[in-house]
Structure 1
Amino acid sequence: MAVTKTISSSSLQIEIESGKDSSGNTTYKKKTFSNVRTDAASQNVYDVATAIKNVLNVKTRDFFVSESSTLVSA
């Protein structure tokens, strides 16, 4: 039985600095940008994330792409 995976939605997440914990370590939270095209090239998503990072007033750390997929039995 063959199974097909199809990406149904995608979002971009950027970790942004949110403060310090009780030990003085930097804490981060994720800012999510929904409705990223599921067929968008990785370089294009990275370029958009970098552009967003450049206009934010906080320090950032990592970029993530979250994808939701459906599995269908063929």
Structure 2
Amino acid sequence: MAITKVASSKSLSIEIQSGTDTSGQPTYSKKSFSNVRNDVEPQAAFDVAEAIKTVLDNPTRSYFLNSASTLVNA
């Protein structure tokens, strides 16, 4: 039997500086934005993350495009 992977959802996450640790190094938490289109181009997702970054109070570090898929027994 052939198993097929079907994209079910995508989200965009941005690491935002949330404070500092005991040695003074920055710590980060992730803010996620769900319901990203499954066919989004990586450049478009990056551009949106850059736009979001401009309105945030704290510095950011990395952007993530997270994909979830369902495995279907076809």
Q: TM-score range by the shorter chain?
A: over 0.9
- Once the two structures are superposed, the pairs formed by residues 23-34 of structure 1 within 5 Å of their partners are 23-34=23-34
Aligned residues with identical type, % of pairs: 58
Deviation at 1:41, TM superposition (A): 0.8
The structure 1 segments of at least 4 consecutive aligned residues displaced by more than 2 Å after TM superposition are: none
Normalising by structure 2, we get a TM-score of 0.94
**Residues 47-66 of structure 1 mapped to structure 2, 5 A cutoff:** 47-66=47-66
Residues of 2 paired with 1:17 and 1:7: CA distance? 30
Aligned residues: 74
Q: Any idea what the Cα deviations from partners look like across 1:13-71, whole Å, max 9, x if unmatched? A: 00000000111111000011111001111111111011101111110000001111100
Q: How many Å apart are 1:3 and its aligned residue?
A: 1.4
Gap regions ≥5 residues in structure 2 = none
Unaligned runs of 5+ in 1: none
For 1:18, the aligned partner's letter is: S
Q: Under a length normalisation based on structure 1, what TM-score does the superposition of the two structures give?
A: 0.94
